[in-house]
């Protein structure tokens, strides 16, 4: 599980990057995680530039945090992303089925059971902040980005699968 200190370190590191360093870091992210980046582009291409850019930036921050806490982030396959996407869809369906006070309880319970609650709290916090230009996201935009980022978190933080070796 990623802790708050790893998130703070990643944020601090990125906060000190020059524009040139940031470009190099994004290139590195795109090369290290092509399946994740393709997923983001595919899911957000009709959503507008601010949604796509924020989704990519926060996905980079997740990647950077995973690297900070684990020394490296294993490359994710399209199958990993697809499995994470289905998990996120199922999670969103369960949350959406809850009503009223039950809704809040359901979300809290679900976040507490999640494997990466610190990353999810970071994402929620960032989505509730105004953008650099002062514009705030509406609830639909926040939901769309959250869905993308929950999938990215599940993809990047998956437990590595063991290989089964058959012996004759």
Q: What is the pLDDT of residues 93-146, one digit of tens each?
A: 877 776 666 656 666 666 656 668 888 889 999 999 988 888 899 989 999 999
The answer to the question of residue 164 being in a domain is: no
- DSSP code, position 167: -
Structural domain includes residue 24: yes
Residue matched to tokens 């900070």: 68
In a domain, 167, yes or no: no
Q: Where are the beta strands (DSSP E) in 76-133?
A: none
Residue 75 lies in a domain: yes
How many structural domains compose the chain? 1
Q: What is the tens place of the pLDDT at every residue in 146-159? A: 999 999 999 998 76
- In tens, the pLDDT along 11-52 reads 999 999 999 999 999 999 999 999 999 999 999 999 989 999
User: Is 152 within a domain?
Assistant: yes
Q: Which domain holds residue 72?
A: 4-156
Looking at the domain assignment, is residue 109 inside a domain?
A: yes
Helix axes 49-70, 19-32, angle to 10 degrees: 80
Rounded to two decimals, the pTM is 0.83
* 59 assigned to some structural domain: yes
Q: Is 166 within the bounds of a domain? A: no
């Amino acid at each position: 599980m990623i802790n708050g200190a790893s998130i703070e370190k990643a944020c601090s590191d990125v906060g000190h990057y020059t524009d040139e360093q940031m470009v190099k870091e994004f290139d590195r992210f795109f090369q290290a995680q092509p399946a994740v980046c393709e997923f983001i582009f595919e899911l957000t291409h009709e959503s507008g530039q601010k949604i796509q850019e924020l989704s990519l930036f926060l996905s980079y921050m997740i990647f950077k945090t995973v690297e900070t806490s684990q020394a490296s982030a294993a490359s994710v396959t399209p199958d990993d992303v697809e499995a994470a996407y289905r998990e996120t869809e199922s999670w969103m369906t369960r949350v959406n089925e809850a009503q009223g006070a039950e809704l809040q309880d359901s979300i809290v319970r679900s976040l507490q059971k999640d494997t990466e609650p610190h990353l999810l709290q970071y994402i929620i916090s960032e989505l509730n902040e105004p953008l650099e230009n002062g514009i705030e996201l509406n609830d639909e935009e926040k939901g769309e980005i959250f869905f993308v980022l929950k999938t990215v978190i599940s993809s990047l933080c998956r437990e590595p699968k063991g290989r089964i070796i058959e012996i004759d």
